Structure 1
């Protein structure tokens, strides 16, 4: 019955389209390709080219998103065959995107983080690369239109300062879905050494010293690495740095934009990290350790604490170590504060919109039909499809709730659950749909994983910047300034922590960043924050 309802809905919308196009209604030529006005031959969407980066959990078992069960079913429902175009992963994808944007012939749909387009999404519209979607959504996307009407805060996130909606976005619909990364610690090591969970910076120091000196892995060797903390962990989660009330980038206090890495408190943080590095409490190879090396160190019983994800951290290593070390228990730790009772301000909490969305390009000959096709992802049926796959194949409805089948949660061939699920849905990564909390409740099922979302959600994040965007004129200048600043800042971070640069050079480091145009970057961010408030 669900499919039939959708087909009826599709036919009704097609009839509306015919009536409107017959009346000669349309948007500006630059924003929307010309649509056939002959009611005898309305635009029919049967094929679609779709450019999107493929994620590792899909590429591990499949060559294309066409092989995902959800897209097989979507083709059966809508009759639209999608030609997915997947660029190489990593930096090459960005390079291919930039090269593609110089062409006059683009794929019909491009799924990307459009803040990465030179000048931002509004510039992409003005350049005639993608279509402003406001009117098309209003007329042809009833499901998505309803979502935006019911959640004006989401609409604010996906709208440019000029009022343009430019993508069908990936949306996290529950606060619990925005929290999935934070500090973790070996609870079994704490128990073995009779230690309590650390909550302050000083308590963390005492715990790390004990990990270093008291052989918690029990092998008789001084091979423990108390804390694995990369520069990226500091940048992303402000782990430990947040105890000083600042972050590693731009933040705001009472509407005033500030920059953490030049604050005197950043020097205090660097001084402590340098001390911990000298004492062997930080991984001595933190600057060069990659994901495979990290996995080897954790499964080898060396690392006592690290910043990790709920699923691919706590969940993954709990599974890998289940037989190897039955005592192994990796759990979430609270973001540390300076003094007992201090409010946790900084942690990691993503926006509802993660910045990635599907844009309709100006090369698309059937924008109206494409908008209808994308709109399906925000319907009740589409939400189920993208979160759970095809009913009867990967899940079944039980007491009105979608429940994954046992063979998906525990793949008979031994695939990790993230790869097993990705054969059926897109909820393990992102896409033009809404992430359902009922998916996450089955994806993260272990008690320690569920507890992590509660522990890591404690910080207020009251100083976090919203998803602002510079204007077209500001964008290139801002990018130029911050590219130089970030390169220098990252280089100096490593030197300060590893002792290659003495701390008495911090003031010189601050003046260097200021000379690179920091004041101008702050002004651009300040204006962007004020514009965001007026959206």
Structure 2
């Protein structure tokens, strides 16, 4: 499923352009609405904000192009002036696995900073509360975080998303506001290649196959060599948004259909998807080296006219390629078009999309039991949901990253036309987080500004379309369920991905698909499905 780690999610996890390109994301621009901003905090006796605090969070990947610590970011330097709080930011090494390893180590040892920003929803928050690692925030938010508290009163559906199976609110979240803002990732194609070969924008699997064959055989880059990679596939595509799986009515993991929970890779139609991918692999329509290709290599090949189509982020992929190519050669005909997730039949919609389907992606700032002043920290974390915090975290510092034009904030040329040739997302990363790190709520107008191009905006609208949002499961497992799912899925996922890759690359024949299904059964996939069914039934009753 699609997952936001980055704005324009992401998280996921992309890399910086030419030093590598990263995730694109969402920000905001009308004067804050009632949805985005709530009543400012009333005056209270005693210190409003902490004098100092420690904050563990992954360093924003776009900002990492230029800074080594989030404390150097414009929004946080300004926030220190406003609140008087000196924040010591602690960052894990780059990469999702390194962050996970450090998170697990801290949780095991109990040596915790005051605040930890992570995907708590997927990491047994109820158990973490019971084990005395993080705090239940319900009462702290009600008493010390009036901005977020008012928002949750106005939006009971949001409060439901943020509340665990055992009734706990456990993070100060990053929040989106509308459908287009949930879109972070999707498929796009070299439009100039389509035009040159007189091909339509593909909407079905058959049209995709015809297009990829043409890219392979008809020399669209015009260099006289058969060096094009028709589709740059990466293993991470499978879980980012499974761009071709949705044509078969399947999702990449657990989902529900007519109230019955299913697991996409355990369904009979999954064989049809694997058959397609194997055929494309054998025919040279997808990158033969997909298991070892990284984002740096991808970006280099894309900008050197070798890749015809790929899945990537809206801002730091799609938008950054267009920006970088234009800077390299203002007369280049290089152009991209966002295309829908393909279906089997013309006119149908696939069940996958680039939309995360939720106002909240699962990550947020938890206050740990190490914090000596949780009330003051709650007030500090709440700042981003108020009017001034909304402007700060969406636009940065007035007079530097934005100015007011006719009563509306506009990004300056420092962001939009950076003199040091930084991409828009890299420049913006110097002022605020571009990878969906709250806590604050973004606003759709800023999103439009920094996904500035018409092609980008059009692509995001296309990626937002899908057949049926209701298939996606709410994630509200209780602590016991989460522990059991984690235990089952550790070995099962390892085996599953090993076999998916073997099937795609032809190292295992698809005649062994039934054997693969039986092995998933032995690895307890049906118990996992039953757990999710119990959770879904409980969610419906609530």
Q: TM-score, normalised by structure 1?
A: 0.90
Q: What do residues 256-276 of structure 1 show as CA deviations (whole Å, max 9, x unaligned)?
A: 110111212110111111111
Shift of 1:72: 1.4
CA 1:132–1:197: 2 relative to 1, 3 Å: same
Query: How far apart are the structure 2 equivalents of 1:461 and 1:433?
Result: 29
Shift of 1:234: 2.5
1:69 aligns with 2:74: yes
1:420 aligns with 2:424: no
Corresponding residue number in structure 2 for 1:490: 497
Per the alignment, in what secondary structure is the counterpart of residue 62 of structure 2? helix
**Structure 2 regions of 5+ residues with no counterpart?**
1-31
Corresponding residue number in structure 1 for 2:307: 303
Per the alignment, in what secondary structure is the counterpart of residue 188 of structure 2? strand
Q: How many residues align?
A: 502
Match of 1:45 among 37, 42, 50: 50
Shift of 1:101: 1.6
Equivalence map 1:8-407=2 (5 Å) = 12-15=42-45, 45-90=50-95, 91-117=97-123, 120-322=124-326, 323-324=328-329, 326-350=332-356, 351-407=358-414
- On the 8 A contact 1:394/1:404 being kept in 2, the answer is yes
CA 1:9–1:417: 2 relative to 1, 3 Å: closer
Q: TM-score, normalised by structure 2?
A: 0.89
- On the 8 A contact 1:248/1:260 being kept in 2, the answer is yes
Corresponding residue number in structure 1 for 2:14: none
Query: How far apart are the structure 1 equivalents of 2:183 and 2:89?
Result: 30
Query: How far apart are the structure 1 equivalents of 2:532 and 2:473?
Result: 11
Q: What do residues 495-529 of structure 1 show as CA deviations (whole Å, max 9, x unaligned)?
A: 11111111111001100111110110001111122
Query: How far apart are the structure 1 equivalents of 2:517 and 2:342?
Result: 26
Per the alignment, in what secondary structure is the counterpart of residue 513 of structure 1? helix
Runs of 4+ residues deviating >4 angstroms: none
Q: What do residues 418-477 of structure 1 show as CA deviations (whole Å, max 9, x unaligned)?
A: 121111122454221112212211110111101011111111342442341322222222
Query: How far apart are the structure 2 equivalents of 1:86 and 1:428?
Result: 14
Query: How far apart are the structure 1 equivalents of 2:195 and 2:365?
Result: 48
**Structure 1 regions of 5+ residues with no counterpart?**
19-41
Shift of 1:359: 0.8
Shift of 1:124: 0.8
Looking at CA atoms only, which structure, 1 or 2, has the larger radius of gyration? Answer: 1
Q: CA RMSD in A?
A: 2.0
Query: How far apart are the structure 2 equivalents of 1:44 and 1:308?
Result: 40
- On the 8 A contact 1:421/1:428 being kept in 2, the answer is no
Shift of 1:9: 6.3
Q: What do residues 100-158 of structure 1 show as CA deviations (whole Å, max 9, x unaligned)?
A: 123445211111111343xx001111111111111111122111011112222221111
Greater RCO, CA 8 A, separation 6+: 2
Shift of 1:307: 0.8
- On the 8 A contact 2:60/2:70 being kept in 1, the answer is no
Shift of 1:160: 0.1
